[in-house]
Amino acid sequence: MRVVPILGLACALAFGATSALAARSSYDVDYRVQFLPDTGKARVSIAIEPDTGHVSRLVFDMDPSRYSEIDGDGTVARDGDSVRWEPPADGGTLTYLYAVDCKRGNGAYDARITKDWVIVRGDDLVPAARVTSSKGADSRARLHLELPPGWSHADTGWLPTKDGSAYVVVNAERRFDRPVGWILAGDIGTRRDVVEDMEIAVGAPKGDPMPRMEILSMLTATAPAMRDAFGTLPPKILVVGASDPMWRGGLSGPRSLWMHSERPLISENGSSTLMHEAVHVVTRIRGGRGDDWIAEGLAEFYGIELMRRAGLLSDARVDKSIQWMRSHGRGVKTLHAGSASGPRTARAVALFADLDREIRSESGGKRSLDDVARALIAKGGRVSTQDVRDAAEDAIGAPAKTLDSPLLD
């Protein structure tokens, strides 16, 4: 199928609103990813088959330097980064190549494919799409990974189908399910366990010094505390890691997270990259514009607090950690910013510690910051400072004095 230029294309996101009384329709989406280590790329196909619902148009954001050889059934049109696909009424398949290797500004990789393994995010293999579908239609999605000879294992944050031939992809917050999150495949070593009905898998290339069992043990120990705090856990958490030249940080995704093999599980100040990112994975709380401090502050606070509840840190050690955060963020005048890190996150941790103390005191120990966190989780999507105020007021029965602060003006 030829690729033609798009001229003056104006596309809107149209999943179609559906009433509570309307019958939900559906269509099938089959993702297939074939890793090609000799070329440094992955061949991706997206097959759509209508059922009681159908898709008439998808518009992807595809950088030409990373997505190439785009072809498909029906009409495929490209205009710079924008690719429009209109599959035939009876369904069809879109195919393309994706260049896997990706470096950050410091030259370290946050996605890489070698002759032995690949680490990549499904978000990039299948970029976000603006989808026009029949009214109220939901997708039923499966992900198939095709490995080259010699590659024996793969893992994702998704659970496999009963026959083990694919992964079941479900994004509750989206009608068009994409296989977002981390993917690891090749000659890899993985350790896994099940706790609180949640599968925990920790994987890295074979021979890599990633402390798989230590990470598995830490998440196993804290999983009950996470369930108590947040009310629910995902069906699975996948932790993916590797050493240099991979990026030396931590980053969460749906049901999965990345952590460099050499990052300490618990830092000298009592914080933990692993637990911080795990909280992001479980809560999926995201701050709205200017309110990134909410998600980052909660992740850092609970990263410490959950270790205390699991008996990994003493009360005295947690007090010292919160005091370190208070000191580190003492120069911060406002928590509102495009992104929160360093001192601003530390100041948010101190604020949440104070708010937790106020809620417990005013409720006679019956409520805590957990109630605020659960309210934010239930809200879904992006949350605001006002959402935090409302949730705290519900927990206390009156406006929280802690949140009457110049930091939040």
Domain end position, chosen among 172, 205, 230:
172
Averaged over 366-379, what is the pLDDT?
97
Residue 175: the pLDDT is 86
Q: What's the CA gap between 1 and 77, in Å, rounded?
A: 10
pTM of the predicted structure, to 2 decimals: 0.91
Tens digits of residue pLDDT in 65-88:
999 999 999 999 999 999 999 999
Query: What domain range is 100 assigned to?
Result: 1-15+27-172
Residue 308 in any domain: the answer is yes
Q: Is the peptide bond before 245 cis (omega within 30 degrees of 0)?
A: yes
Exposed e or buried b per residue across 35-45, where buried means at least 16 C-beta atoms within 10 angstroms of its C-beta: bbbeebbbbbb
Q: Could you give the number of structural domains in the chain?
A: 3
Inform me whether the pLDDT recorded for 24 exceeds 80.
Answer: no
Q: Point out which residues pair with 58 in neighbouring strands.
A: 85, 131
Whether residue 56 is found in the same domain as residue 92 = yes
Tens digits of residue pLDDT in 117-147:
999 999 999 999 999 999 989 999 999 999 9
The residue ranking higher by pLDDT, 381 or 61, is: 61
Whether residue 3 is found in the same domain as residue 130 = yes
Strands 138-146 and 26-36: parallel
Residue 274 in any domain: the answer is no
The residue ranking higher by pLDDT, 38 or 16, is: 38
Q: What's the CA gap between 93 and 177, in Å, rounded?
A: 16
Which residues does 64 contact at the CB level (< 8 Å), separation at least 6?
Answer: 78, 80, 81
The residue ranking higher by pLDDT, 339 or 111, is: 111
Q: What's the CA gap between 224 and 231, in Å, rounded?
A: 10
Residue 126: the pLDDT is 97
Q: What's the CA gap between 386 and 45, in Å, rounded?
A: 43
Residue 276 in any domain: the answer is no
- Domain of 231, CATH number, reads 3.30.2010.30
Whether residue 317 is found in the same domain as residue 403 = yes
Domain end position, chosen among 122, 145, 172:
172
